[in-house]
C-alpha cells in the first residue's frame, strides 16, 4: 500500500519513531522525574505535586504493594476515582512495581463494577470513599482482598485538605455510608511504603501496563490488553507529532476528561513525558468552578470533546479566562461539530485539532497537523509508525475516496482482549485491527469518518453498546422486545433511544428509565423511549434490524424525552 499521507506531514515529523528508546512506562516516568524534579507535575483543587514529590510518593505506594501486601509482577490493581492528585501517585506506583492498572469508572453501578473486578482478577483496589458503598455491595463476590480508601482532600495542603474533605462529606453529603472491614487509608499505605524499600522489577515491552475496559458486543465490558510496548509506542508517536510546537517543560495542560478514559490517560502521559504542568479538573460539569480554575493558570493546551468545548463557549467568564496563551485544543472521543469549531477558533485564536483513536489502539491512530489554520472536518493523518487501510467486508483495500471499514496496523494496537481469544480473532483481519468505523481516505491521506459499522452509540465520547442496554431492559418483566439505537443530541452528540414492544400494557417510559438507572451508568440510561405494538423488524434469523429502526425514526418527528 502507498502511504500517501507521508507526503503531507508537517516539516520535521519523521515517518517512523523509535519505540525501543524506552523499555517501559516506568522508565519513561523515572527519566522524566529526574529531568524535572523541581517543576510542578500536577495540580488539582488548589494543591500541587512536583515531579520529585511524585517520584517519592509513587515509590512509597509501589513499595506498599510489593512489600506490605506481597503482590508480584503482573498482579492487577484497580483504581476507582475521578481526577485527583491521588490518581497519578497510585497509577505510577502500580506501574513501577511491575503490576497492571485496571481503571474503573467511579460511576459504575454495582453490577458493572462486579463484572470488571471479577473479569480482571484484580486483588487490590484504591477507591475514593465517595464510591466505597458501591464497592461494598459487591466485594464478597470479587477477588479483591485489600481495599485502600482515600478522601478528596488527602493530598492537598493539610488545612485545605481537611476542610475540603469535611465539606464533601458533611456539608455536601457526597459520601454515602460505607463500612469495609480491613480497609486501609491511602495515607496509611503511603506511610507504610515509606518505611520499606522498593525492589527493582525488570519491566519490558511485553509486560501488561493496563487492562483498559471497553464496551463489549456481547453486552459486557471486555479488557483491552495494553502492554508497555503499546503505550510507549503511542507516547513516542504523539510526542513526535507535537514536538515542533510544544516546549519541553513549558506547557500548562488542562485535563478535564477523566483519567480512567484512555484518551485522557494517554494525552496526560504524553504531556507528562515532556515535563508539562498538568491541571486535573475533578468535575468539569461544574462550569463556574472550571472557568475559575482557568483564570488561575495560563493554559497553553486543553483536551476535550465537542460537548465540553461547546459548554465552555457558553459559560460566563470563559472568554476572559482563556486569554491568548492557548496553543493547542485537542478534540477526540466524538465528532466535532462545525459550528463549535468555528466559535472556538474565534474566541481562543486556536483551531480545534481533531484526532481519532480507540481503546484498543492506546488510543491515538490519527491526528490533524498542529499547523493547520482552521478545522478540517477530518480526523487527520495517520501518526508516525501507523498504517491505516480502508477495506471492504472481504478485507480488500478500497481505492482513495471510497468508503470502507477503517483498519489499523501499528505498535500501539493492543495484544488482544483479556481472556477472550474468539473476540480477539474477530477483531483482526490479516494482521489489521478492524475498528468498526466506516470512512474514506482522500488523495492527501486525510481520513473522514462517515458512519459506524458497529451499532455502538457515542454519548459525550463514551461508548454505549446496544446489547448491554437491551440486556438490562429485557430483565424488566413488562418488556417483550427491545432495540437500543442512538439518537442525535445537541449536547452529547447522541443519546440512547430504546424501541420497546410491551408485554405489560401498563408499562411506562418512566418505569423503564427507573429500572435502567439501577443497573447502568448514567450516560447509558435511555433518554428516549418509544413503544410499538407490532414486532420489531428482523432478519430471517431473528436478529433485530437496528439500522431499519434508525432510518424509520429519523424520517419521523422526534419522540419526547423519557426523563
Query: How high is the pLDDT of residue 542?
Result: 63
Residue after which a domain boundary falls, among 452, 475, 507: 452
Query: How high is the pLDDT of residue 338?
Result: 85
Query: How high is the pLDDT of residue 218?
Result: 47
Ramachandran category for residue 139: left, alpha or beta (phi over 0 → left; psi -120 to 50 → alpha):
alpha
Residues 447 and 482 in one domain: no
- Residue 232: closest CA among 280, 200, 273: 273
179, exposed or middle or buried, with CB in 10 Å at 0-12, 13-18, 19+? exposed
Residues 467 and 415 in one domain: no
Query: How high is the pLDDT of residue 219?
Result: 58
Backbone angles phi, psi at 58, to 5 degrees: -70, -35
Rounded Cα gap, residues 357 and 238, in angstroms:
12
Element of type H or E holding 251? none
Element of type H or E holding 245? none
Residues 87 and 139 in one domain: yes
Residues of the chain with pLDDT under 70: 215-219, 539-542, 557-563
Residue that the C-alpha cell 442512538 belongs to: 486
Structural domains in the chain (count): 3
Residues 64 and 92 in one domain: yes
Cis peptide leading into 363, omega within 30 of 0? Answer: yes
Q: Is there a domain that residue 20 lies in?
A: no
In 98-123, which positions are buried (b, 16+ CB within 10 angstroms) versus exposed (e)? bbbbbbbbbbbbbbbbbbbbebbbbb
Residues 428 and 507 in one domain: no
Q: Is there a domain that residue 304 lies in?
A: no
Q: Which residues pair with 40 in a beta bridge?
A: 50
Q: Is there a domain that residue 405 lies in?
A: yes
Query: How high is the pLDDT of residue 217?
Result: 42
What's the whole-model pTM score? 0.88
- Residue 364: closest CA among 235, 209, 254, 453: 235
How far lies 546's CA from each of 52, 130, 543, in Å? Answer: 53, 38, 9
Query: How high is the pLDDT of residue 561?
Result: 62
341, 259 in Cβ contact below 8 A?
Answer: no
Query: How high is the pLDDT of residue 440?
Result: 96
Residues 135 and 194 in one domain: yes
* Domain span at 149: 48-203
329, 341 in Cβ contact below 8 A?
Answer: no
Residues 106 and 195 in one domain: yes
Residues 71 and 199 in one domain: yes
CA 342 to chain CA mean position, Å: 25
Q: Is there a domain that residue 485 lies in?
A: yes
Residues 398 and 544 in one domain: no
Q: Domain with 543 in it: what CATH number? A: 3.30.300.30
Residue after which a domain boundary falls, among 452, 471, 486: 452
Residue that the C-alpha cell 467486508 belongs to: 393
Amino acid at each position: 500500500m502507498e502511504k500517501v499521507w507521508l507526503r503531507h506531514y508537517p516539516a520535521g515529523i519523521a515517518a517512523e519513531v523509535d519505540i525501543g528508546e524506552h523499555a517501559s512506562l516506568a522508565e519513561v516516568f523515572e527519566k522524566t522525574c529526574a529531568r524535572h524534579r523541581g517543576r510542578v507535575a500536577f495540580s488539582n483543587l488548589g494543591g500541587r505535586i512536583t515531579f520529585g514529590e511524585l517520584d517519592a510518593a509513587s515509590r512509597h505506594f509501589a513499595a506498599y504493594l510489593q512489600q506490605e501486601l506481597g503482590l508480584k509482577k503482573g498482579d492487577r490493581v484497580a483504581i476507582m476515582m475521578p481526577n485527583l492528585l491521588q490518581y497519578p501517585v497510585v497509577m505510577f506506583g502500580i506501574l513501577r512495581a511491575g503490576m497492571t492498572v485496571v481503571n474503573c469508572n467511579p460511576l459504575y453501578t454495582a453490577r458493572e463494577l462486579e463484572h470488571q473486578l471479577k473479569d480482571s482478577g484484580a486483588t487490590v483496589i484504591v477507591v475514593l470513599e465517595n464510591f466505597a458503598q458501591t464497592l461494598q455491595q459487591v466485594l464478597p463476590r470479587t477477588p479483591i482482598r485489600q481495599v485502600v480508601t482515600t478522601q478528596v482532600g488527602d493530598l492537598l495542603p493539610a488545612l485545605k485538605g481537611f476542610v475540603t474533605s469535611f465539606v464533601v462529606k458533611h456539608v455536601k453529603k457526597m459520601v454515602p455510608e460505607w463500612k469495609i472491614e480491613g480497609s486501609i487509608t491511602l495515607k496509611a499505605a503511603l506511610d507504610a511504603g515509606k518505611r520499606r524499600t522498593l525492589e527493582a522489577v525488570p519491566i519490558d515491552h511485553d509486560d501488561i501496563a493496563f487492562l483498559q475496559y471497553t464496551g463489549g458486543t456481547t453486552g459486557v465490558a471486555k479488557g483491552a490488553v495494553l502492554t508497555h510496548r503499546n503505550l510507549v509506542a503511542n507516547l513516542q508517536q504523539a510526542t513526535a507529532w507535537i514536538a515542533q510546537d510544544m516546549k519541553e517543560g513549558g506547557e500548562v495542560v488542562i485535563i478535564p476528561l477523566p483519567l480512567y478514559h484512555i484518551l485522557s490517560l494517554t494525552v496526560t502521559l504524553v504531556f507528562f513525558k515532556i515535563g508539562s504542568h498538568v491541571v486535573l479538573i475533578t468535575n468539569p460539569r461544574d462550569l463556574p468552578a472550571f472557568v475559575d480554575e482557568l483564570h488561575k493558570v495560563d493554559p497553553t493546551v486543553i483536551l476535550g470533546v465537542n460537548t465540553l468545548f461547546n459548554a465552555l463557549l457558553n459559560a460566563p467568564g470563559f472568554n476572559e479566562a482563556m486569554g491568548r496563551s492557548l496553543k493547542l485544543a485537542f478534540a477526540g472521543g466524538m465528532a466535532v461539530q462545525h459550528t463549535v469549531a468555528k466559535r472556538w477558533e474565534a474566541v481562543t485564536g486556536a483551531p480545534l485539532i481533531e484526532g481519532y483513536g480507540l481503546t484498543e489502539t492506546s488510543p491515538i491512530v490519527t491526528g490533524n497537523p498542529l499547523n493547520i489554520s482552521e478545522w478540517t472536518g477530518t480526523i487527520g493523518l495517520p501518526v508516525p509508525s501507523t498504517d491505516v487501510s480502508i477495506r471492504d467486508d472481504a478485507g480488500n483495500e478500497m481505492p482513495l475516496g471510497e468508503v470502507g471499514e477503517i483498519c489499523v496496523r501499528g505498535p500501539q494496537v493492543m495484544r488482544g482482549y483479556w481472556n477472550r481469544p474468539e473476540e480477539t480473532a474477530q477483531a483482526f483481519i490479516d494482521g489489521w485491527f478492524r475498528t468498526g468505523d466506516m470512512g474514506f481516505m482522500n488523495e492527501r491521506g486525510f481520513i473522514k469518518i462517515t458512519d459506524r459499522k458497529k451499532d455502538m452509540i457515542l454519548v459525550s465520547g463514551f461508548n454505549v453498546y446496544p446489547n448491554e442496554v437491551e440486556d438490562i431492559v429485557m430483565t424488566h418483566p413488562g418488556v417483550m422486545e427491545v432495540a437500543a439505537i442512538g439518537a442525535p443530541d445537541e449536547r452529547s452528540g447522541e443519546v440512547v433511544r430504546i424501541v420497546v414492544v410491551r408485554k405489560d400494557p401498563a408499562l411506562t417510559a418512566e418505569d423503564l428509565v427507573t429500572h435502567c438507572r439501577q443497573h447502568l451508568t448514567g450516560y447509558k440510561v435511555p433518554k428516549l423511549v418509544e413503544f410499538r405494538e407490532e414486532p420489531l423488524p428482523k432478519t430471517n434469523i431473528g436478529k433485530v434490524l437496528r439500522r431499519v429502526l434508525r432510518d424509520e425514526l429519523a424520517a419521523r418527528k422526534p419522540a419526547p424525552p423519557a426523563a
